[in-house]
Amino acid sequence: MSARRVFIRGVGVVSALGRDWPSTAAALAGGRSAIGPITHFDVAGYPCTVGAPVLDPELEGPDRRLGLARRAAREAWARAGVSVAPERLGVFIGAESGRATLSTVCELAQAAGGGRTFDHVRFGARAPAMAPRIDASVVSPAAVASVLAGEWDARGPAQTVSLACASGSAAIIEAVRALRLGLCDVALCGGVGADVDPLMLAGFGHLGILSAKGCSRPFDARRDGFVVGEGAALVVLSVERGDAEAEIAGVGRSLDAYNLTAPDPEGDGARRSMLAALRDAGVETVDYVQAHGTSTPLNDPVEAWALRVVLGDGLARARVASVKGALGHWVAGAGALGLVCAYEAVVGGRMMPTAGLETPDPDCDLPHVIGEAVYQEARTALVNAFAFGGANTSLVVRRCA
């Protein structure tokens, strides 16, 4: 028995360029970048002082992931126009752990005295008042899926995928698999990242992978690291076509088994992930690639090599771009944002450019989209998201016949 088709019924995005997908897409198409100096906390002394945060008081709260995810999910659901029994609605979300605010972390660190010795009595007296700010509703990766399931009374399968930069796309892949298997009929899925904060800047800075120049330039000869961004991208998938114009036709996952923070330099895992998605979709080439494109010296040439190997001569007839040049790296939300960009190319014929890319690295020789969006018909698109730990994900989006 053939697997059920999976249609994209609605998309929703909250970004530093717009509070919904139409406004974000218009800004991206014009070549705008949201990356700029971080002003909502003191960045003095950090290795990178720029980012692409979403600064909206309406989205603030103890867990910033929730406000972003709710708004994107509501947009996607409103656009989808689906009706489904609670037991047939699944929720699949890519999310990393939440974090208490820096002030809470500092306050907790001082609760025991802040000196060389740990004052247990003082800590016992002061720490309980901080517990609500660091409990599971704030820090659990599963908190986002739980909140969204509650809002839509979803009682079908639920899954949280915490897989670093591949979290959002891996969650979408698991949703596709559940829909194909008949475990649910509709799925709310995607990813969210809320990482423009002191702890993430310090952590990524310690690894030496942030841009010291303060620029995100995927595939550019001058790139020196990525810039942290944040936002949410949610999609509603359904086995009923309705008025859907695109479907997820192929999915693929692989593992490098090479290094925690560096890709396999041979690109074998990326190659296998893409091949799996293309074979699943029954195609050999695509019209558009929304690349992982992190703007790091290591990742970009590896992905470029893998694309040349996988797509062969067909690559010359495609266009390639990375949204991270405009919105930074959303980490857990990155792959889901890439899917929405691919959806836009297939449905609207609008291929987003790679902001920041001006002088392509010869090692990243690809048919790039530079400057502004390219408008041309696209029937198929490939989306890549490659993560720490060597986790690779690829999806193929196809315009419905």
Catalytic residues: 165, 292, 329
Copy the structure tokens of residue 145.
């899926």
Q: Collapsing DSSP states into helix, strand and coil, what is residue 70?
A: helix
Whether the CB-CB separation of 269 and 254 falls below 8 Å is answered with yes
CA torsion, ordered 358, 364, 367, 370, to nearest 10 deg: -20
Residue 390, phi-psi category: left (phi > 0), alpha (psi -120 to 50), beta (remainder): left
Short-list 226, 196, 358, 207, CA closest to 294: 226
Maximum Cα–Cα distance for the chain, whole Å? 70
- CB neighbourhood size of 289 (10 A): 31
| Residue with token string 């001569």 | 313
CA–CA separation, 253 vs 395, rounded Å? Answer: 9
CA–CA separation, 224 vs 209, rounded Å? Answer: 8
Q: Which residues pair with 246 in a beta bridge?
A: 8, 399
CA–CA separation, 56 vs 23, rounded Å? Answer: 15
CA–CA separation, 63 vs 98, rounded Å? Answer: 7
Copy the structure tokens of residue 192.
């969210």
Whether the CB-CB separation of 294 and 226 falls below 8 Å is answered with yes
What DSSP string describes 120-145? Answer: HHHHHHHGGGGGGGSSHHHH-TTHHH
CA–CA separation, 92 vs 157, rounded Å? Answer: 8
* Alpha helices (runs of H) in 261-389, residue ranges in sequence order: 268-281, 299-311, 324-327, 334-348
CA–CA separation, 64 vs 169, rounded Å? Answer: 20
Short-list 235, 206, 174, 215, CA closest to 329: 215
